[in-house]
Structure 1
Amino acid sequence: MFDQIFGNKFRRILLSSVTSLLVVGAVVGIYRHISHADALCASLDVDRVRWETVTHLLENYGGEGIVSVIGENGNRETYPIVQFSDPEEYLEFYPDCCRYYPGTLSGKPLSLTERYIDGLCGFVGISVHFHYSKNDQTVTSRPPSSMVWVVDNSYKVSEDLKGR
């Protein structure tokens, strides 16, 4: 009956209009999500990123254990790690330990999925320093190693699953 009153042409116009509205709504929604994600990443406080990076280091790598170093005679020697009490202590010793790289590291950017679905904002590079105990004295002369992790828009630092 609808077709008899309004005709098939009206139905096509109506469906076309509804489809257009849905597409426009989806595009606007995606644009708002991307804008919001970009704004969250742009507002990250670099000092807090450093703090969270060191916290991640100490919670996951700074616990009890041993460190292996090359001794004076050229042989490997192992010593117990001296733990840092908190991120503040680590940052006092190594204030330049961490660097935040928003969006890209060495020409390797975050993917669109990582950035806009996973909420990742960038990379954090950290120079990892271990203090160890040798002959009842704390030694800090072991050369640092480096690690690269990712940070999201809620300051969560985690391993880079792609190993960049």
Structure 2
Amino acid sequence: MVDDALAWSGLLLGVIGLAATVYQTVKLSQVRRRRQENLLTILNRTNFIKLDHEIVNDLCNRHGDVVMARYLWQVVQSSVELYMRVVDEYLAGEERFSFDDLDRMVGGPLISRAWQYRYWADQIARRPENRSVPVPEAPPVPGMSRVERYFHLRGEAVPPSFPGL
């Protein structure tokens, strides 16, 4: 009788352990999905706050303040490094990510410049599933709407010297 009770309690503990494992796996999956969603949001915001080189050049040329220029370039560099770091974190959390996935992102809020596409492509090429796939050339990235908007708000035409416009 004691052996029977011991067997049933062992079975019950095993079932409880199995249920706890399933519960933890589901919760972990939800946490990972939310983490990836948060990283995409951070990428979007980082891309938004990053100043375009053309705007920084224009501000520096107009004002000639060396301290302001240094500060603005530090902001640009910091936001670019943050963007790159978040891309790395996002890709680390993805089980698979191909160049087809990257091509679907072009033109969206996360990739607005050719250098961003090249960075994503370089990082994706290092993944095991993409090592034998050639890295594609950067497709044309949509226009520099922030640069155009900057000059529009100033009431000026966009200088023809800006590439891509």
TM range (shorter): 0.3 to 0.5
- The structure whose Rg is larger is 1
Q: Which has the higher helix share?
A: 2
Q: TM-score, normalised by structure 1?
A: 0.33
Q: TM-score, normalised by structure 2?
A: 0.33
Q: Which has the higher strand share?
A: 1
